[in-house]
Structure 1
Amino acid sequence: MTGQDKSQTPPKIEFPCDYPIKVMGFAAADFEQFVIEVMKKHDPSFNGEATIRDSRNGKYQAVNVTITATGEVQLKAIFEELKASGRVAMVL
């Protein structure tokens, strides 16, 4: 039963680390820049590198970035700011 308990516990992340984030939101000319600015606010070392993909119908965009995560507090703050904007549908 011990093995079963371990499989249900999410692995601990060792900070700091490279941390990929995918932000999906409503398509707009400035959506990628918006995501980059939020990331820079929470990770001053973020270089602004991002990839963007449009959905099949063009209604949504996905922006992928990799930040240097420093802890759970930072990740939670990023998630909350993105969601509070009203522009973001999902953060993975």
Structure 2
Amino acid sequence: MPEKFEESLELLDFPCKYEIKAMGKCGVAFEALVCEVVSRHLNGAEIIDVATRQSARGRYLSVSCTIEAADRDQLDSIYLDLHSEADVLVTL
């Protein structure tokens, strides 16, 4: 994981609300893909909020999922899983 990400996780007091953002090419299934990947790691809990935003030219979509993060391992697992998806171009 990048150093700044590592440092930011040290400042979190778990459990806490945490926003995960993924960006990819616009497609009818991109939002569903991101939500499905995030949900896999929530141990039965639900995503608190989902927000989407299209790029100015409409080619890309960002999907932000707010969750109640249990611990750092959970966040690491979510980000690794998102990065393994070919349709996910960037995560924040």
Q: Please state which band the TM-score falls in when normalised by the shorter chain.
A: 0.7 to 0.9
The residue that corresponds to 1:78 in the other structure is: 78
Show structure 2 runs of 5+ residues with no match.
Answer: 1-6
- The alignment yields a C-alpha RMSD, in angstroms, of 1.6
Q: Matched residue pairs, number?
A: 84
**Contact 1:36/1:48 (CA < 8 Å) preserved in 2?**
no
Give yes or no for the alignment of 1:18 onto 2:17.
Answer: yes
- Between the aligned partners of 2:57 and 2:82, the Cα distance in structure 1 is 23
- Between the aligned partners of 2:39 and 2:77, the Cα distance in structure 1 is 12
**Contact 2:48/2:68 (CA < 8 Å) preserved in 1?**
no
Letter in 1 for 2:20: I
The residue that corresponds to 1:27 in the other structure is: 26
CA drift at 1:89: 1.3
- Between the aligned partners of 1:88 and 1:27, the Cα distance in structure 2 is 11
Identity over aligned pairs, percent:
33
SS at match of 1:66: strand
Return the TM-score normalized by structure 1. 0.81
- Between the aligned partners of 1:89 and 1:77, the Cα distance in structure 2 is 17
CA drift at 1:48: 6.3
Greater C-alpha Rg: 1
Letter in 2 for 1:56: A
The residue that corresponds to 1:40 in the other structure is: 39
Return the TM-score normalized by structure 2. 0.81
Letter in 1 for 2:67: I
Show structure 1 runs of 5+ residues with no match.
Answer: 1-8
